[in-house]
Structure 1
């Protein structure tokens, strides 16, 4: 690392490929690497989950830090490791009573929040804040601490108390998850009493780690320009819109990028066949055949010729899965489409999809859970990608879909509005169209967009131009990384 490089500490609760529950994990891989490529000196600090520690070897002990937990002092061992997928050192906060457990980072096997999440992420924040002040005398002190989502919001609040400290940047990936905890947790954790106010971390009688990040960070970012505007309104603000309006002077919407090395149809190791913008077929067709044959070993020509609709995502209302469920019977009756869906979420939606798949085994294919290789194969093998989210701070799958020549069908919101150009007559004529956008939040509008898409699918020359326009879009991290560097420096 060259002398004088900007030192940046990233603090987050997940990072692909070590631990990932959604787009946050992808960003915490791609953005630090984009900044590292520009000469920044990066460290990424993560909680020492059991599943994460199993993947790391060898590790060096940097030292121990004792911080307050819910029942007194808690000791954390700080580990440093190098991992082949990361170009910079990782720091891991190893605190077995809080993080050494099986399962999801945030919820237990039944889908309920871990009951000690307030303590887990308060301790994580307290240790991360000490590392940001070089409490272990490592000779590495960041100029900037970049925190992500509610799990790290207290880092900004803790550092705000310090006279000599790094600049703090807090990124909201999804305002719907506020890290809300009762006042009893606030008291047990002995958090500073002056935080308990409407101007601090208190929120209608509870406290919010996300609100702490917004209030106390020097700069607040979110993951698309449109979402930065939306969260300042009652419809999308979750009660924080007034606060965000008052902090617009430090609120910035910077569109997430995607890792174009990982998501590249011409080199993707998960794909049966590679292809590029200049030669979309027959690679796309071979991927479609392989995807269908995973579920239908004897896929016939009718299945191969019919439009294949793909969906990868959480099966929750935010993602419009109820609209998808309502649209499926209409699509089955009106068209010859097939659907392949990968995801997990609310048990009710999982059950309904499984029932539809049993009723229509030749046309609906469901994989409940998460499977990274299959996610890539759906992006490459589907003809259309469904992403009708009611709100979407940024969204990555629509960008993966565009890059893979799979036009997305999206609701006009957040990052979806910023990245997909609707296939109107004018946009088709001037070559700017890349997908299908509906702007009324209901099933009828979603179905209208799907019908438009299926009509265009039957016009191969027009369809190919639409695919090529999407594949030519630039969604790498280059421009956004430059914007972050500029923000860090101001």
Structure 2
């Protein structure tokens, strides 16, 4: 290849850091070079001002009350006690080793020892993880709800109603979940890996747990402590002026494809391919031939 790209700068660094994360291609990538560009997100599908799945729509000026009302709606929908004052943590993701649902579930008892917190877990995937989700719900009735089915409307409601979004990925090339959360004014408590490092700023748009082990065959006690400690730190901030500022910091960002698309264009133009020229902002890159579109 004349140019190698991936989906975030920090993930590019991880790929060349050693064979554990570079899959034994790290030596080659160090020689050839690799460029990371963070993904954008679909800001029309994920838009709290218009989202049809939300109990209440809101914007940056009405976010605090809007999120509180959506939290109450979420609590009622999943069967948790309705109380806007209780911090609510959401976990949304595929139930597989990469996303660390086992680490998240192991941390919940540690969190509940010290904090009055509600947790809503949403995802489908490997049966062993689905069973883990249901077991932690049974262990902590009134505190934990696990939804082990695909439910897009609930995912949107969780983004709006949660106070904190937990992302416990063992590795994460870019990640969209944290972008979607920030779009809805929900700070992210995340593992410090891949695109999560590039997109979540400690104390401004979220909280960093530190890097988790990439060994998918074991839940490291140190990782459980990192997750529990960070989430306890996050829920203590909920409701404070600092948290209110974080909500605004999340929502004020442009998380669309506008900047990433320009970065991609700049890199591709550097190749000097004959006939290449910059695009025009707002112009379709490849206009659809209408005769090929089903009526």
Q: Secondary structure at the match of 1:448?
A: helix
- The CA distance in 1 between the partners of 2:81 and 2:99, in whole Å, is 32
For residue 262 of structure 1, give the secondary structure of its aligned residue in structure 2: coil
- Count of aligned pairs: 259
Q: Deviations over 1:110-167 (max 9, x none)?
A: xxxxxxxxxxxxxxxxxxxxxxxxxxxxxxxxxxxxxxxxxxxxxxxxxxxxxxxxxx
Q: What root-mean-square deviation, in Å, do the aligned CA atoms of Structure 1 and Structure 2 show? A: 1.6
Q: What 5-or-longer segments of structure 2 have no aligned partner?
A: 213-222, 272-295
Q: 1:369 to 1:220 in 2, by over 3 A?
A: farther
2:189 is paired with a residue whose SS is strand
Q: CA deviation at 1:305?
A: 2.1
The answer on 1:280 being equivalent to 2:63 is yes
TM-score by length of 1: 0.51
Q: Name the SS of the counterpart of 1:311 in structure 2.
A: strand
Report the Cα distance in structure 1 between the residues aligned to 2:253 and 2:234, rounded to whole angstroms.
Answer: 19
Task: Note the alpha carbon deviations across 1:165-188, whole angstroms, 9 max, x for none.
Answer: xxxxxxxxxxxxxxxxxxxxxxxx
TM-superposed CA distance for 1:421, in Å, is 0.7
Shift of the alpha carbon at 1:226? 0.7
Matched ranges for 1:22-37 at <5 A: none
- The residue number in structure 2 matching 1:16 is none
Residue 288 of structure 1 deviates from its aligned partner by 1.0
Give the distance between the partners of 2:26 and 2:64, measured in 1 at CA: 47
Note the alpha carbon deviations across 1:45-82, whole angstroms, 9 max, x for none: xxxxxxxxxxxxxxxxxxxxxxxxxxxxxxxxxxxxxx
Supply the distance in 1 between the matched residues of 2:81 and 2:100 (Cα, whole angstroms). 31
Q: Which structure dedicates a bigger proportion of its chain to strand?
A: 1
2:9 alignment partner in structure 1: 225
Supply the distance in 2 between the matched residues of 1:361 and 1:337 (Cα, whole angstroms): 12
**Equivalent-residue separation in structure 1 for 2:106 and 2:236 (angstroms):** 20
Greater relative CO (CA pairs within 8 A, separation 6+): 2
Query: Post-superposition shift, 1:264?
Result: 1.2
CA–CA separation in structure 1 for the residues paired with 2:122 and 2:210: 25
After superposition, the Cα gap between the structure-2 partners of 1:260 and 1:351, relative to the gap in structure 1 and judged at 3 Å, is same
1:236 paired with 2:39, answer no
Runs of 4+ with >4 A deviation: none
Q: How does 1:364-379 map to 2 (within 5 A)?
A: 364-379=144-159
Deviation digits for residues 269-305 of structure 1 (CA, Å, limit 9, x no counterpart): 2111111111113211221111111121xx545x432
Counterpart check, 1:482 vs 2:262: yes
Larger CA Rg, structure 1 vs 2: 1
Q: C-alpha displacement at 1:267, in angstroms?
A: 1.2
Paired residue for 1:414, among 194, 202, 205? Answer: 194
Is 2:167 aligned against 1:382?
Answer: no
Correspondence for 1:443: 224
Identify which of 146, 167, 174 aligns with 1:394.
Answer: 174
